[in-house]
Amino acid sequence: MNTMENLKTKSIITAIALSLVVASCKAPMATVIKDEVKTNIPQNFQQEEQQDANNNSGTTPWRQFFTDPNLVSLIETALKNNQELLITLQEIEIAKSGVLAKKGRLTPMVSAGIGAGVRKAGRYTSEGAGDATTEIEPGKSIPDPLGNFEGGLTANWEIDIWKKLRTEKESAVAHYLSTVEGKNFVLSNLIEEVANNYYDLLALDNQLDIIQQYIKLQQKALEISKIQKEAAAATELAVKKFQAELAKSKASEYTIRQSITEKENQINALLGRYPQTIVRTKESFMSTIPQTVYTGIPSQLLANRPDIKQAEFELKSSKLDVEAARKEFYPSLEISATLGLEAFKPSYLVKLPESIASSLVGELAGPLINKSAIKANFQAADAKQIQALYEYDKTILNAYLDVANLMSKVKNIDQYYQLKSQETKALDESIDIANQLFRNSRADYLEVLLNQRDALDAKMELVEAKQKQLSTVVDIYKSLGGGWK
CATH (domain of 342): 2.20.200
Can you give the CATH number for the domain in which 267 is found? Answer: 1.20.1600.10
pLDDT band at 235 (very low <50, low <70, confident <90, very high): confident
Quick check: is 460 in a domain? yes
**18, 188, 307, 310, 368 from 480: Cα distances, Å:** 56, 10, 11, 15, 52
Both 87 and 197 in one domain: the answer is yes
- pLDDT of res. 348: 80
Q: Are residues 457 and 356 in the same domain?
A: no
284 falls within a domain: yes
- Asked whether residue 72 falls in the same domain as residue 150, the answer is no
Any domain includes 323? yes
Q: Please indicate, yes or no, whether residues 37 and 145 belong to a single structural domain of this protein.
A: no
**CB distance 336 to 155 below 8 Å:** yes
Residues 148 and 282 grouped into a single domain: no
Identify the pLDDT of residue 154. 93
Residue 230 lies in a domain: yes
Looking at the structure, tell me whether residues 95 and 188 fall in a common domain: yes
303, part of any domain: yes
Within a domain: 356: yes
pLDDT at residue 301 tops 90 = yes
Last residue of one domain, picked from the residues 365, 384, 413 = 365
Kindly state whether residue 396 falls inside one of the protein's structural domains. yes
* Residue 474 and residue 426 share a domain: yes
Confidence of residue 120 (pLDDT cuts 50, 70, 90): confident
Residue 137 has pLDDT above 70, yes or no: yes
Q: Are 119 and 148 in contact (CB under 8 A)?
A: yes
Please report which confidence band the pLDDT of residue 5 belongs to, taking 50, 70 and 90 as the band edges: low
Whether residue 351 sits in one domain with residue 324:
no
What domain range includes position 168? Answer: 30-107+160-203+225-234+262-331+373-480
Mark whether 393 and 414 lie in a shared domain: yes
**386 CB-contact burial (10 Å; exposed 0-12 / middle 13-18 / buried 19+):** middle
pLDDT digits (tens, 9 = 90+) for 346-384: 888 888 888 899 999 988 887 777 688 899 999 999 999
CA 326 to chain CA centroid, nearest Å: 29
Output the pLDDT for position 414: 94
Scanning 231-334, the segments in alpha helix (DSSP H) are 236-270, 301-304, 306-326
Residue 468: the pLDDT is 97
pLDDT band with cut points at 50, 70 and 90 for residue 1: very low
What span, in angstroms and rounded, lies between the C-alpha atoms of 76 and 202?
A: 19
- Quick one: pLDDT band at residue 130, thresholds 50, 70, 90? confident
At 188, the pLDDT band (50, 70, 90 cuts) reads very high
Amino acid identity of residue 319, one-letter, is K
- Residues 166 and 152 occupy one common structural domain: no
Report if residue 165 sits inside a domain. Answer: yes
Whether the Cβ atoms of residue 185 and residue 307 lie closer than 8 Å to each other: yes
- CA triple 282-288-292, angle to 5 deg: 145
Q: Are residues 358 and 468 in the same domain?
A: no
Domain total in the chain: 2
Does residue 147 sit in the same domain as residue 54?
A: no
Q: Which amino acid is at 431?
A: I
Query: Looking at residues 271-278, what average pLDDT do you find?
Result: 96
For the segment 54-83, the average pLDDT, to the nearest whole number, is: 94
Question: 402 or 43, which is more confident?
Answer: 402
Q: Is 451 or 163 the better-scoring residue by pLDDT?
A: 163
